[in-house]
Amino acid sequence: MRARQMRGDCPHHWCPHQRSRQQATTAASGRTRAPMRLIAAVPTQGVKNSAATMIIGMIMFAAGLGMFYSIETGQFEPAQRLVKNTGIFVGLAGIGATMAGVLLTLFSKSEPVGR
């Protein structure tokens, strides 16, 4: 196995022996070259974060609807008006959080490789 890696015909592009050999040849020629990486090969955390943000936004929206519609229209007590106004705020914030999760999902997806 060691002889195969030293010859340079290791089938893996991430083989440390092959990489050090490439770095030695570029150092000998005097030019530096950044290693090539595939963008889509590395999974991102953006999809997990966006799903959590969407779920939290939906829960906030449902809680806001419950708070808003649990109080009848025309109530003059300050505590009930506060619950209704808080429901409006939480519901609108939930819509915003859901939209942020959708945008995170769209932005975190990698573009297809050109044809």
Residue 74 lies in a domain: yes
Write the pLDDT tens digit of every residue in 36-53.
554 544 455 667 888 899
pLDDT of res. 41: 46
Task: Give yes or no: residues 83 and 58 share one domain.
Answer: yes
Distance CA 91, CA 58 (A): 9
Look-up of token digits 């340079």: 8
Q: Range of 21's domain?
A: 1-36
Task: Give yes or no: residues 20 and 57 share one domain.
Answer: no
Task: Give yes or no: residues 26 and 79 share one domain.
Answer: no
Give the predicted TM-score (pTM) of the model. Answer: 0.56
Residue 26 lies in a domain: yes
Task: Give yes or no: residues 51 and 16 share one domain.
Answer: no
Distance CA 50, CA 69 (A): 28
Amino acid residing at 91: G
Closest CA to 18 of 9, 27, 28: 9
Helices 78-108 and 46-69: crossing angle in degrees, nearest 10, is 160
Residue 41 lies in a domain: no
Residue 115 lies in a domain: no
Residue 113 lies in a domain: no
Task: Give yes or no: residues 53 and 101 share one domain.
Answer: yes
Task: Give yes or no: residues 3 and 26 share one domain.
Answer: yes
Task: Give yes or no: residues 50 and 97 share one domain.
Answer: yes
Contacts with 87 (C-beta within 8 Å, 6 or more apart), sequence order: 63, 64, 65, 66, 67, 68, 69, 70, 71
Write the pLDDT tens digit of every residue in 71-104.
888 888 999 999 999 999 999 999 999 999 999 8
